[in-house]
Structure 1
Amino acid sequence: MTPINFEQVKDRLAPAMKGGAGQIKREIKRGVAMCYQTSNGKVFAIVRPEGQELVFVAVAGAGLAHVAHEFVFFAKMKGFKSIRYHTKNPHFLAKGVNALSVKPQLIEVRNAMFGNNEYIYRIKIQ
């Protein structure tokens, strides 16, 4: 994964940021979150560290199944013990996540008053 300027890809990431766009932009400005693109240049991700865990805040692009292992390798090389991600549409990620040899574990479901529930997953890195 290669760092990329958020301004270059903010429109592509907009659907993944949804209601959190303002906070995500502030975290990027403060250097808390960083924006990356995969080696094939087709998938973009905003990530932030939380202790020993790398949180994928927003992911957008095509062909997640082809680069899912790159996310795990990136986190492992940076010294993280796990990856966490939140989604309101787990079926959108199913194909990409199924490509991983290490399967994510559902750790929490946050019930929504309106719209879709939020599903929180963790991938433990060996």
Structure 2
Amino acid sequence: MKVSLTSWPYVVPDKLLKACGDDFKSIRNSVQDNESNLYHFQGDNTDLFMVIRSEGSEMVVVCVGGEGIKEAGQYLIENAQKLGFTSIRYHAKNPAVHRLYSGYGFGGEEVERVYKIALGGK
């Protein structure tokens, strides 16, 4: 598998745009301000983008878009351990995502639920 650290693309691929959802601008700004990193995972069954940041000893997966989380997830776990992280955290709005990830060995336990209150606008 080839994993590339990349800068925020001028033309954002649909899979990344969809993964960012309503948080597109803040995620883009976080990558552009070097608070998070954007990686492109490519392989036989893998073509996905992942935005990651660190919070102390915890690796935080901000968003994932594309195909191949099974392969990319295992790669991520192995490399997080090598880098000294003690845990990986991700948020999933849809419980089906957690079930899918769990089937690939990348599930973990639920430790919090996140809620958002929209104030005006959309």
Classify the TM-score, shorter chain.
Answer: 0.7 to 0.9
2:113 equivalent to 1:106: no
Matched pairs, number: 113
Output the CA distance in 1 between the equivalents of 2:11 and 2:87: 26
* Structure 1: segments with no counterpart, 5+ residues: 115-126
Partner of 1:72: 77
* Structure 2: segments with no counterpart, 5+ residues: none
Partner of 1:16: 19
Output the CA distance in 2 between the equivalents of 1:22 and 1:103: 27
65-74 or 80-89: which moved more? 65-74
TM superposition score normalised by structure 1: 0.76
TM superposition score normalised by structure 2: 0.78
33-42 or 48-57: which moved more? 33-42
2:38 equivalent to 1:35: yes
Partner of 2:57: 52
- Over aligned residue pairs, what C-alpha RMSD do you find? 2.2
SS, match of residue 35 in structure 2: coil
Larger Rg: 2
Deviations 1:95-114 (A, max 9, x none): 333221x6401001234568
